[in-house]
Structure 1
Amino acid sequence: MLLKEAENKIKTNFWVLPALYGVGALVLAVLSVAVEHTLSQHENIKNLIPSIFFTDKELAQTVLSAISTSLLTMTTITFSSVLVVLTTFLSQFSPRTLQNFINDSKTQLVLGTFIGGYIYALVLLSQVKGSELDNSFIVPSFAILVAFICLGMFVFLIHHVTDWIKVGNLVSNITSETLASVEKHYKGQEMTGDSEENDLDLNSLKSYGIESRKQGYIEYADIVGMVSFAEDHELIIKFEKVPGEYVDIDTPILTVWNSPEKLDERKLLDFLLISPTQEVIEDIEFGIQKLVEIALRGIAPGKNDPETAINCIENLSQILTKVGKNYSPSPYYYDSDKNIRVILEKPSFADLLYESFYQIRHYGKADVSVMTSIINALTLIAETNREEIKQYVWDFSLYLVEGIKQQDWLGLDKNYLNRHLLKLAKACNEVHEEKLITI
């Protein structure tokens, strides 16, 4: 878990990767100076290199000075471009979407390249200035190569920033991130199974609670590792707080049964990653929240951009379809001997459906295109999932139609909505005449 925490910190801290590039550039500059000194002491090796790669002392200082100044200017422009994008995300989309751009490794890579290039040229400039071994230097050629790389990264940054400002790419990025969190959230699903809590007879076992030593959001829980740990120590572990929830110091977070003596709490807490900021690592609901907020901005009065909302709804259906295929209501995780080891209550699929669409339904209830896209999203979820999920979708559809009926629709609008509702009914296997929902 320490590796997972370190990885998370590197991603969420904007300065870590550029700082690493800066250190790497410093080391590379020292090696370049060592190569320069080696060549100056071995004329036979130096003669093998074309003379075009060498410059005199004055030209070397001029080239390195110009490169270092240019790279510093490019770094400043890059920071300005990043601030423009962050401002756009904040005003146009959602404050929660800032993380996606900040955590993007490509942006940090470009900044790291510029900072590293500047440090590299600056260190070489100081070394050339203090060198009296020879009047010809090869390090300016190395610096020119680095400058070409930085120039290419600058062009890449312009293209990258332009892509990121497009709402479609942002929505796609959030969706991909959330789909990855679905896989992590349901990791170890093969260990789950149905059981009755009364069969456990937990009251007859010795128990004690474990409290959080940090404050923040539970970003990740290593369920597979916890099951293995519980099996080795003959424990039953129950989550009092689930991934995605906020905990404070001394908040009850786990309950442990059947332990002959109190274990070292740190061993169990090491299976949890608690971060002060909310991230889409295992928190599916947070990824859904981001898409919902972008959709609400699209249908807000004065904005009137329903296509953005429709795009978000389509991506929500993609997430919920995958959740439905992996969803299991059982909170019980078993070891290899079919003994219950971990109990983790999960949000029901019905709750995820409601959280995904209730706000969009409320604020987009008068827009035919938005309501139709929700119906189509529900149809897509039902078409590719099992009967249990179809029933969840159908129950939510009744709630959706209840809200639709409160609006005054024109005749063509009613016909259009009813056609899509009929497709939804068929997808949910609710095609009997008495069960059809119409407006």
Structure 2
Amino acid sequence: MIKERMKLNIARHIWVVPAIYSIGALLLAILIVWIDIAHYETVKKVVPNRLLTSTSLTQTILGSIAGSLLTMTSITFSTLMVVLTTYSGQFSPRILQNFIHDKVTLRVLGVFMGGFVYSMFSLLFIREVNDDDPVISAAVGVCIALICLIFFAHFLQHVANSIQVTKLIDRIADEAVEMIEKMGKQGRRTAERPDLEGKEWTQLHFEKKGYIQLYEVKKLLEAAEKHQCTIELLEPIGSFVIKKAPMAKVYGTKAAAEAIHASVKVGDERAPAQDVEFAIQKLAEITLRALAPGANDPNTAIDSIRHIGMALKEASYLDGQYVVYDERLIVPQRPFEELLYETFYEICYSGRDRVSVLIAVFDALKMIERDQTPAIQKKVRKFGEYVRAKVEEDILNETDRRRITERFEQL
């Protein structure tokens, strides 16, 4: 959970990774100039003469590299802005997070900024070296420039892949499934709230408004064990809360209040770290954009619906009203039928006049239902009945009705 909080903090500030690379480049510049000054004789013996340059030539090379890297950084930022505009306009504003916080994007920005920082500070420090003494700062700068070129080519390929909708859908679905599988390994899920009646409790309240992004389960359990109390959180992950809204009930001593507040992360936007609904909602929004009159792309919608079915099948294993950890921590969660409805109801409404889209929805429901418990099968079939009743009002063609009915009867 500490790792998840670190990810959230880095996600809020995209400058963190480039700053780390820049600091590393500054330290490298100091190290190389120190070697040129303090270990000049050793360098002459170890480093080939072809890699040694005079101070004046070094300044020329580093100046050219600094200007070139600044230009490449500007191009990278321009490309980044184009991609962000594409993501926001064609897919969903929520998907911007996937690209902004993408490891490749942050590393490329970090490498370019680091190369620029190295060149500039090497130019600043190289004045301490005698004009006639050969140095290796230029050779290191050329190596960094080549590395930047490699990263730039990799970045262009990454951007070309990122804006392909099929690969975007596949990547988002894989991230959702990975997160759901991780969540499935934690706690015991139950439809019944543990019996805590008769015990004295203290109610805690949220200290700020926003979306619940993270519950640090490990810290909450440690606080519950330390103070010998039971903690019941009152809102599921992803809920929007206001200041002073009820946050938790503490059964037993209220000494754990400070630790509980520190273990609940609330932010301005939803985060996919533990939010199953938000992870799947991104796919649903891509589907809705594809069904919009301006886009009119049913094939993308169908592909997205299939991936939604895959993610929901994994989410169905997390069914339950509550997650209980060691009988010390109770976390509410949205039941599967609610997740199913929230994901598909707008898709069914937007695609009500497109039989191919509705058939894809029923195929996804069939995928979810297969090899499931009777309880999940009952919930899926009940939702299928809802979809069938909803869309048959708008389907006038008898052949289309028959195809919808055939898909429904397979549930």
Report the CA distance shift for 1:74/1:196 in structure 2 as closer, same or farther (over 3 A).
Answer: closer
Report the CA distance shift for 1:313/1:192 in structure 2 as closer, same or farther (over 3 A).
Answer: closer
Task: Name the SS of the counterpart of 1:55 in structure 2.
Answer: coil
Cα contact 1:321–1:384 (8 A) shared by 2: no
Report the CA distance shift for 1:22/1:312 in structure 2 as closer, same or farther (over 3 A).
Answer: same
**Cα displacement string for residues 60-114 of structure 1 (whole angstroms, at most 9, x for unaligned residues):** 1211111110000000000000000011111111111111111111101000000
1:331 to 322, 333, 342: 322
Normalised to the residue count of structure 2, the TM-score between the two structures is 0.94
Higher deviation after alignment, 173-182 or 159-168 = 173-182
The equivalent residue for 2:400 is: 413
Alignment of 1:139-288 (within 5 A): 139-189=137-187, 191-193=188-190, 199-200=195-196, 202=197, 204-259=198-253, 262-288=254-280
The equivalent residue for 1:29 is: 29
The aligned length equals 411
Q: Which amino acid aligns with 2:174?
A: S
CA distance in 2, matches of 1:48, 1:255: 68
Task: Name the SS of the counterpart of 2:247 in structure 1.
Answer: strand
Give unmatched runs, 5+ long, in structure 2.
none
Q: Which amino acid aligns with 1:363?
A: S
Q: Which amino acid aligns with 1:151?
A: L
The equivalent residue for 1:295 is: 287
Task: Name the SS of the counterpart of 2:113 in structure 1.
Answer: helix
Report the CA distance shift for 1:310/1:276 in structure 2 as closer, same or farther (over 3 A).
Answer: same
Q: Which amino acid aligns with 2:77?
A: F
CA distance in 2, matches of 1:92, 1:392: 33
CA distance in 1, matches of 2:220, 2:55: 63
Report the CA distance shift for 1:408/1:7 in structure 2 as closer, same or farther (over 3 A).
Answer: closer
**Cα displacement string for residues 128-185 of structure 1 (whole angstroms, at most 9, x for unaligned residues):** 3442164312110100000000000000110111111111222222222322332344
CA distance in 1, matches of 2:267, 2:185: 20
Q: Does 1:357 align with 2:351?
A: no
The equivalent residue for 1:304 is: 296
CA distance in 2, matches of 1:334, 1:29: 50
**Cα displacement string for residues 347-391 of structure 1 (whole angstroms, at most 9, x for unaligned residues):** 111111111110010010111110010010000001132221111
Q: Which amino acid aligns with 2:213?
A: E
Cα contact 1:215–1:274 (8 A) shared by 2: yes
The equivalent residue for 1:321 is: 313
Task: Name the SS of the counterpart of 2:317 in structure 1.
Answer: helix
Give unmatched runs, 5+ long, in structure 1.
426-439
Task: Name the SS of the counterpart of 1:344 in structure 2.
Answer: strand
Report the CA distance shift for 1:318/1:195 in structure 2 as closer, same or farther (over 3 A).
Answer: closer
Report the CA distance shift for 1:5/1:366 in structure 2 as closer, same or farther (over 3 A).
Answer: same
Normalised to the residue count of structure 1, the TM-score between the two structures is 0.88
The equivalent residue for 1:435 is: none
**Cα displacement string for residues 268-295 of structure 1 (whole angstroms, at most 9, x for unaligned residues):** 2232222222111111111222211111
CA distance in 2, matches of 1:25, 1:353: 49
The equivalent residue for 2:5 is: 5
**Cα displacement string for residues 320-354 of structure 1 (whole angstroms, at most 9, x for unaligned residues):** 10011232x2526253xxxx423333211111111
**Cα displacement string for residues 379-406 of structure 1 (whole angstroms, at most 9, x for unaligned residues):** 0001132221111100001001102211
Q: Which amino acid aligns with 2:301?
A: A
Instruction: State the 1:228 CA deviation.
Output: 4.8
Task: Name the SS of the counterpart of 2:214 in structure 1.
Answer: strand
Report the CA distance shift for 1:250/1:117 in structure 2 as closer, same or farther (over 3 A).
Answer: same
Identity among equivalent positions (%) equals: 33
CA distance in 1, matches of 2:59, 2:78: 29
CA distance in 1, matches of 2:352, 2:262: 46
Instruction: State the 1:36 CA deviation.
Output: 1.3
Q: Which amino acid aligns with 2:315?
A: V
CA distance in 2, matches of 1:223, 1:183: 16
* Root-mean-square deviation over aligned CA pairs: 2.1
Q: Which amino acid aligns with 1:11?
A: A
